[in-house]
């Protein structure tokens, strides 16, 4: 999912799914056969946790004004997964949402403030912050949105294609 120059990042809230058990025993389980991989992630304090299914899509950095203000960092690494695969599984349920653009909402933990997801109204993908994933394998950035707005001291070498996810 590429970001249009006039819209920062992706985001709209999804409905919470039924809660399931979350374990903090390492990376997300890998399914057998041709079933897509389930990945887990969450906030710093563990209150908001999620699962997404599938291969990482469009891992990219974004240095737009919204990202740098929200994160306090020079850029945020986003990675997409099918919106319909997102499930909120932690004790806090769904995150708190903030509309940072008319067609874009971002989900964050109301306790620790961790930014977790960005969801655009017109997208089949939901973007998660790559480092909120318990296992960020396959999220090496291949794109850099708003590169011209990045701080001048930041240099980035992008991957030519997404890294293969390993079981």
- At 44, list the tokens: 């710093």
pLDDT in tens, 122-140: 899 999 999 999 999 889 9
Asked whether residue 9 carries a pLDDT value surpassing 90, the answer given is no
Kindly give the residue spans of alpha helices, DSSP state H, lying in 15-147.
Answer: 65-71
pTM of the shown model: 0.73
What SS3 class is residue 147?
helix
pLDDT (0 to 100) of residue 164? 52
Q: Is the pLDDT of residue 30 over 80?
A: no
Residues whose CB is less than 8 angstroms from the CB of residue 102 and which lie 6 or more positions away in sequence, other chains included: none
CA triplet 103, 64, 47: central angle to 5 degrees? 70
* Residue 99: closest CA among 50, 132, 66: 66
Bridge partners, residue 145, by sequence: 62
Kindly state the greatest CA–CA separation across the chain.
Answer: 46
């Amino acid at each position: 999912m590429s970001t249009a120059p006039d819209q920062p990042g992706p985001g709209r809230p999804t409905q919470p799914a039924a809660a399931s058990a979350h374990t903090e025993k390492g990376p997300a389980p890998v399914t057998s056969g041709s079933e897509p991989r389930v990945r887990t992630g969450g906030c710093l304090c563990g209150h908001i946790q999620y699962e997404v299914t599938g291969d990482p899509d469009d891992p990219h950095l974004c240095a737009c004004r919204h990202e740098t203000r929200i994160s306090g960092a020079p850029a945020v690494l986003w990675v997409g997964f099918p919106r319909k695969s997102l499930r909120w599984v932690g004790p806090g349920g769904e995150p708190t949402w903030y509309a940072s653009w008319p067609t874009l909402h971002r989900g964050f933990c109301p306790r620790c403030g961790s930014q977790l997801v960005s969801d655009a109204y017109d997208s089949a993908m939901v973007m998660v912050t790559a480092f909120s994933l318990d296992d960020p394998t396959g999220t090496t950035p291949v794109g850099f949105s708003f590169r011209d707005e990045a701080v001048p001291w930041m240099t980035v070498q992008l991957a030519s294609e997404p890294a293969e996810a390993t079981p």
